[in-house]
Structure 1
Amino acid sequence: MTDVRELIEKDGKRQFITGACLAAVSLIFIIGFFTYDPGSTVLAFLYGPLFAISGGRLIQMGYRDIQKAKRTERALKDDEDIFFDKAHARMYIGANEKEAGESHMYDMNKQIYFSVQEKTRSRHSLVSFFATFLSYGSIRPADYKMRADHGKEIYHLEKKGGFTWRGYVQQMDGTYVAYTKEIKNKSTGQKVYRYIEKNYVRWSAEGDPVIGHFTIKDQDGNVWAVMKEGAIPREAVDDFNDVYGSLIEWKKRDDIPLSLVAFLFLLQTRYR
């Protein structure tokens, strides 16, 4: 059975070490600032603060997770089965460039069904801007609240930082119910992302991360959706030209578990 406490502690140490390495790199750039070489000075001015800020953020979040692990129960708890009654055949999940720290799941009329909002209080500050600018991909840690269109909060989502992506799902009382794991399918060479509840894989997404197309399956191998990263829906090009995200083509449209919606949002955080 999964030991959540151990996983979070490992993620905390990994983030802390990664942050320390980035901070060390920033010192190299800062030292270069005093060499009076024009090229070194420009690089130091541009990259020194960015590595320092991102490293500091990872150190902070890593330490937080190490401490948090001590207060976390070891076992994942059972998740409550909540369903989304009916999905449109094609939907879109992504972030509007004007809404920092927020992503939505839309239909093709751009009506919002679900949203995640980053919980970082200082996301509009200069520090967060620099950290976000440098920390593309899995490097930047973030916490989110997932809510339905009427505003009801459903889950807390955590994305751990560093060079290895991992996500966690919590119920609103802070109880951990799932986490993600990234592996490689040795027979196909494709990347596989797993959504794990208790001691079994509830959902998996397999595909080519370069192309960005993933097939979403349940624990029995049934296909629920295909996720196409960067695809623009042809029927709503003008509506989504300012939204970066993924087209979701639903293969099963009735009674969609909200754990699957949470998994799709977590997959979307890999590069944000």
Structure 2
Amino acid sequence: MSLVQTMIYQDARRQLWTGILLSSISIVFILGMVTVNPSSFIISVVYAAIFAITGAGLLKGGYADLQKSKTVSDFEPDPTKNALERVPARMYMGQNKLKSFQAGLFDMDGKTYGEIQENVEWKHKALTMFTAVFSYDQFRPAIFTFKNQAGEPLYQIEKKGGFKWRGYIQHKEGAYVAYTKQTKNKTTGQCITRYIEGDQCRWSAEGDDFIGHFKIRDHEGKVWAVIKRGAIPREAAERFEKMPGYLVEWNIRDNIPASLLAFLFLLHSKER
């Protein structure tokens, strides 16, 4: 098996086992609806729905990945040359709570510099919104399309579900070009998420996973940006206060590669 086949097979097994576990827990709450005090009926219904829907999503994603692992091609070099010529010093990456399948990168005036949207058929969007409410999104697998400022699709972003998280990037032609790997800094104990292309780490995010502040570095260790989860910019508080996401403070503002934006959106999808 190639590297990508092996990794997706591992993801498939993890999602299937997690889906079985959560579905089993939902059965416990379903049984509780008829065996416990009637006053806890609503609580049982809510938790049964959360575990059942999340478990079903993991089983579906795990089965799809199990099939994909048999045929998918190995990683290829990323041919994407697209870049943002210049960005504002402070931006915000967030999602509308009523549209959990969509998130964007905005300046303080609300102008969009790129976005991701979950790949959902129109006829299933109402079901997706229902699922977003009655599921644990950090466990749920999802696939997004990343579009640049002009609305051109550049990448497909895959977030694998389960208790461990991993993400993949496919360029618009369909080949896998990158994946993420999580480790810890042995000295500081901080979390490191690496964006791997080929045999090298092109981008990394290092910081305190609890606080949610991360430094974004390239392969040479140069800091391109600092992202801060849950930090609402004071100059645009009314615009972004209802959009969960990250404040993005750029150290380097010129020629921002599309792969870096894809990495930021991939980090954002982890928290959705």
Cα gap change, 1:44 to 1:197, in 2 (>3 Å):
same
In 2, the alpha carbon distance for the partners of 1:99 and 1:130 equals 11
Instruction: Give the structure 2 partner of residue 254 of structure 1.
Output: 254
Matched, 1:266 2:266: yes
User: Could you report, residue by residue, the CA deviation over 1:32-64 in whole angstroms, capped at 9, with x for unpaired residues?
Assistant: 223153255344322123211211111011000
> Structure 2 counterpart of 1:87, which letter?
V
Cα gap change, 1:32 to 1:97, in 2 (>3 Å):
closer
* Partner secondary structure for residue 125 of structure 2: coil
In 1, the alpha carbon distance for the partners of 2:101 and 2:78 equals 26
Instruction: Give the structure 2 partner of residue 170 of structure 1.
Output: 170
> Structure 2 counterpart of 1:207, which letter?
G
Q: CA deviation at 1:243?
A: 2.0
In 2, the alpha carbon distance for the partners of 1:208 and 1:137 equals 21
In 1, the alpha carbon distance for the partners of 2:35 and 2:238 equals 50
Residue pair 1:225, 1:252 contacting (<8 A) in 2 also: yes
> Structure 2 counterpart of 1:125, which letter?
A
Question: Identity rate of aligned residues, in percent?
Answer: 45
Instruction: Give the structure 2 partner of residue 234 of structure 1.
Output: 234
Matched, 1:218 2:218: yes
Q: CA deviation at 1:190?
A: 0.5
Instruction: Give the structure 2 partner of residue 86 of structure 1.
Output: 86
Matched, 1:99 2:99: yes
Residue pair 2:89, 2:249 contacting (<8 A) in 1 also: yes
> Structure 1 counterpart of 2:126, which letter?
S
Instruction: Give the structure 2 partner of residue 9 of structure 1.
Output: 9
Instruction: Give the structure 1 partner of residue 115 of structure 2.
Output: 115
> Structure 2 counterpart of 1:51, which letter?
F
Consecutive unaligned residues of structure 2, counting only runs of 5 or more, are none
Matching of residues 2-81 of structure 1 within 5 Å? 3-39=3-39, 41-74=41-74, 76-80=75-79, 81=81
In 1, the alpha carbon distance for the partners of 2:37 and 2:161 equals 34
Cα RMSD for the two superposed structures: 1.7
Cα gap change, 1:33 to 1:234, in 2 (>3 Å):
closer
* Partner secondary structure for residue 189 of structure 1: coil
In 2, the alpha carbon distance for the partners of 1:82 and 1:239 equals 28
Instruction: Give the structure 2 partner of residue 143 of structure 1.
Output: 143
Q: CA deviation at 1:129?
A: 3.8
In 2, the alpha carbon distance for the partners of 1:135 and 1:7 equals 25
Instruction: Give the structure 2 partner of residue 206 of structure 1.
Output: 206
Cα gap change, 1:40 to 1:238, in 2 (>3 Å):
closer
> Structure 1 counterpart of 2:95, which letter?
A
| TM-score normalized by the length of structure 1 | 0.93
In 2, the alpha carbon distance for the partners of 1:123 and 1:250 equals 37
Alignment: residue pair count: 269
Instruction: Give the structure 2 partner of residue 125 of structure 1.
Output: 126
Cα gap change, 1:135 to 1:186, in 2 (>3 Å):
farther
> Structure 2 counterpart of 1:262, which letter?
A
Residue pair 2:50, 2:136 contacting (<8 A) in 1 also: no
In 2, the alpha carbon distance for the partners of 1:109 and 1:39 equals 48
Q: CA deviation at 1:134?
A: 4.4
Residue pair 1:29, 1:40 contacting (<8 A) in 2 also: no
User: Could you report, residue by residue, the CA deviation over 1:119-172 in whole angstroms, capped at 9, with x for unpaired residues?
Assistant: 12365334x345323444520111100102222101000111111111110011
Q: CA deviation at 1:229?
A: 1.0
User: Could you report, residue by residue, the CA deviation over 1:175-215 in whole angstroms, capped at 9, with x for unpaired residues?
Assistant: 00001111111110101111000111110000011111100
* Partner secondary structure for residue 44 of structure 1: helix
Residue pair 2:46, 2:134 contacting (<8 A) in 1 also: no
* Partner secondary structure for residue 125 of structure 1: helix
| TM-score normalized by the length of structure 2 | 0.93
In 2, the alpha carbon distance for the partners of 1:150 and 1:83 equals 11
Runs of 4+ in 1 over 4 A off after TM superposition: none
In 2, the alpha carbon distance for the partners of 1:148 and 1:231 equals 24
